[in-house]
Homo-oligomer: A and B are copies of this chain.
Amino acid sequence: MDTRWLDADERAAWLRLVAVVELLPGVIDAQLRRDAGLSHFDYFVLAMLSEAPDRRLRMTALARRTNATLPRLSHVVQRLEVRDLVRRFPCPEDRRATNAELTAAGWDAVVAAAPGHVATVREHVLDPLSRTQLKQLSAIGDALLTRLDPDGTMRPLLDPAEPREA
């Protein structure tokens, strides 16, 4: 194989992306765990439900939207169910499918956690970027996701104006 090694520009961009990918999850996770007792993934699951019609999604749709395998999601939702933040029930239209629904306590947990989470996102990601850089980052993210998510399973999340299946 004739390898084209990274040139200086490519190496700079790649190493910075690796560093961000390495450091960002810990920062976001630590704040949510400390202030809300939720992992970032827990919060993401609750937030996705909070934005869905009737605060309810099929488990398969929720798995795609959170980029989780169904077993991983089931495990997390089970924990959230024990804490009375989510409940599961058979889908009325398709008894083989399962719906997950945010409880009143789950809604309260999202509402309580959101301000601190948003403040952390502002401090560590949005504030250091200019408005121009924000738009560049969106375009760069779209370009990368054509390769990282070729089937577009995360599109409904990224473009919330599009209709979503329940």
Q: A: which residues have CB within 8 A of B?
A: 1, 3-6, 9-10, 12-25, 27, 44, 67, 114-116, 118-119, 121-129, 131, 133-149, 154, 157-158
Q: How far is the CB of A144 from chain B (nearest CB, A)?
A: 5
Judge whether A13 and B67 touch: CB under 8 Å: no
Q: Which of B13, B119, B137 contacts A138 (CB 8 A)?
A: B13
Contact call A17/B125, Cβ cutoff below 8 A: yes
CB closest chain-B residue, reference A10: B126
Nearest B residue (CB) for A157: B15
How long is the Cα–Cα vector from A115 to B125 in the complex, in angstroms? 32
Contacts of A140 in B (CB 8 A): 16, 129, 133, 136-137, 140
Q: For A14, what are the chain B residues with a Cβ–Cβ distance below 8 Å?
A: 121, 125-126
A17 to B24, CA, bound (A): 10
Name 6 extra pairs, CB < 8 A, besides A125-B147, A136-B137: A4-B118, A13-B141, A14-B125, A19-B149, A21-B21, A128-B143
4 closest Cβ contacts across the A-B interface? Answer: A16-B141, A23-B148, A128-B143, A3-B115
Inter-chain contacts of A127 with B (CB < 8 A)? 147
Selected from B13, B15, B122, the residue in CB contact (under 8 A) with A135 is B13
Output the least CB separation between A6 and chain B (Å): 7
